[in-house]
Amino acid sequence: MNNDTICALATANGIGALGIIRISGDDALPIVQKSFPAKKLEKQKSHTIHYGYFMDGDEAIDEIMLSIFLAPKSFTTENSVEIAFHGSPHIGKRILETLIKNGARMAKAGEFTLRAFINGRIDLSQAEAIADVIASENEASRKVAINQLKGGITNEISLLRTDLLNFVSLIELELDFAEEDVEFADRTALNSLLNNIELKLNSLIESFQYGNAIKNGTAVAIIGKPNAGKSTLLNALLKEERAIVSSIAGTTRDTIEEVLHIKGHAFRLIDTAGLRETADEIEAIGVKKAKEKVENANILVYLADAATRDFSDDIEMIRSLLREDLKLIICATKIDEVIPTQYEAIEDVFRDAIAHEFDFIKISAVENQNIQDLKNELSSYVEQLQSEESNVVITNQRHFEALQKSLDAVNKVKEAISFQISTELLAYELRNALEHLGTISGEVTNNEILGNIFSKFCIGK
């Protein structure tokens, strides 16, 4: 990483009341000073705000407020300046051009956060949490990201690494005295420690399913035969006319995706084409897409028309779509159009025919009957994923893979102990476990990983 001074727009592009430009680096103050004659910046205290005009030579570009953050008490730990200007994109562009002319350069994506990591202000998992905070779209994802930013994952990993390091040191000592055939590390105590670490790693790994649901939303495929009420249900859930509703079968030819928030959790609702054999080429493509969406969905909401006498086609379709990890909710629809005796036995029909656990709800999307029951079932699915054993939730695929690799290494150490395999192998696998845990916080990393992580940040962060 270069030590030159960088600058970038920190606020979103477009017109707004205010815009903010950030400058960070050893020469941040003198570079800004060239365009801010109102105050001698190097004589000002840290965390102070100053009023004046930002100049390009003799031309005043804008009336600004300028904030100073002196090293090491800044986000990057470097001298930093933030310029608040009137939120015109043209003004922002002129200020950046002037700063570059004064000696700064445009920051790369995520470069401010990268400098904070390189300079030791935050670790790698906290840097990734910053991106998650910015991208959070619901209350649950915000809470998890803030917990990670406060060091939740780091603290858990640090405890595990400290325990492992103590034993690695003793194992390494044994290697130094290999000719004396001495044993410094108590194998029984080591095995007990490994069992405890295995439990903690498993708990973190299992939290990823919940974390992934929080971060990316839970995919819910709404499936059924043509005219079963799929689009009407989507509109009822969203409380808006999002999908075209018609009594003509086959109206929906493509998938429609919308996000619904329930109790702080995001659900990606997918309204699909009605499932049936069809000679219509376009409708057939829609049916194929519908089946593909179910393959990637977490929840299948299958709609069965309550007025139907024969559910054999529905049952056959559900069986073809099921998989072990898929949550199934069967809804008897249009109950407002039939008398109770016509739909009271429908649940029993499906229970007798489908060897898969499911929830059954009788609904009328038109009359909004029992729609809240469906929302509650969706919400309970996510809530049941949450582990009660750990307050830390894994939302990052990279962290998940590192934890899995560390767990594999721990299991290999346990095998080595049980089979009384050489100290060299114990030391090797213990180092592997430590290394994989270290990649999460950034204690062990490489430029390729850093480049991949920070390239996904927005410029200015």
The answer to whether the annotation marks 364 as part of a ligand binding site is: no
Among the listed residues 21, 22, 35, the one whose alpha carbon sits nearest the alpha carbon of residue 88: 21
Q: Which residues pair with 406 in a beta bridge?
A: none
The alpha carbon of residue 169 and the mean position of all alpha carbons in its chain are separated, in whole angstroms, by 36
Q: What is the pLDDT along the chain (461 residues), one digit of tens a residue?
A: 567 999 999 998 889 999 999 999 999 999 999 999 999 999 999 999 999 999 999 999 999 999 999 999 999 999 999 999 999 999 999 999 999 999 999 999 999 999 999 999 998 888 888 888 888 877 888 888 888 888 888 888 888 888 788 777 777 666 655 555 555 556 777 778 888 888 888 988 988 888 888 888 899 999 888 888 888 888 888 886 554 433 434 444 456 788 888 888 889 998 875 554 544 455 455 556 667 777 888 999 999 998 888 899 889 889 988 888 899 999 999 988 888 877 778 989 999 999 899 999 999 988 889 999 999 999 999 888 876 656 788 888 889 999 999 899 888 888 877 777 767 777 788 888 888 888 888 877 777 778 878 887 888 88
Give the pLDDT confidence score for residue 387 in this predicted structure.
64
The answer to whether 431 is annotated as binding is no
What's the rounded Cα separation, in Å, for the pair 331 and 320? 18
Tell me whether residue 252 is annotated as binding: yes
272 is in an annotated binding site: yes
The reply, when asked if residue 103 is annotated as ligand binding, is: no
CB under 8 Å to 274, separation ≥6 — which residues?
224, 225, 226, 227, 228, 230, 249, 250, 252, 287
Query: 129: annotated binding-site residue?
Result: no
Q: Is 271 annotated as a binding residue?
A: yes
Ligand-binding annotation for 22, yes or no, is yes
Cα distance between residue 300 and residue 327, in whole Å? 6
The answer to whether 247 is annotated as binding is yes
**Amino acid 390: pLDDT:** 61
266 annotated to a ligand binding site: no
Question: Does the annotation flag 439 for ligand binding?
Answer: no
420: Cβ contacts below 8 Å, ≥ 6 apart? none
DSSP, collapsed to helix, strand or coil, labels residue 394 as: coil
207 annotated to bind ligand: no
Q: Tokens standing for 132? A: 């998650």
Give the pLDDT confidence score for residue 240 in this predicted structure.
66
Q: E strand or H helix at 451, and its extent?
A: helix 447-454
Q: Is 228 marked within a binding site? A: yes
The answer to whether 163 is a known ligand-binding residue is no
Smallest CA-to-CA distance from 76 within 26, 30, 119, 125 is with 119
250 is in an annotated binding site: yes
Give the helix/strand (H/E) hosting 132. Answer: helix 124-135
Question: Is 251 labelled as part of a ligand binding site?
Answer: yes
Residues 6+ apart with CB under 8 A from 35: 54, 55, 56, 61, 95, 98, 99, 102
Omega cis (within 30) before 340 = no
Other Cβ atoms within 10 Å of 304 Cβ, number: 26
Secondary structure of 368-380 in HEC code, one letter for each residue: CECHHHHHHHHHH
Task: Tell me: is residue 110 an annotated ligand-binding position.
Answer: no
Instruction: Report whether 246 belongs to an annotated binding site.
Output: yes
Q: Of the candidates 72, 95, 71, which has an alpha carbon nearest to the alpha carbon of residue 83?
A: 95
231 is in an annotated binding site: yes
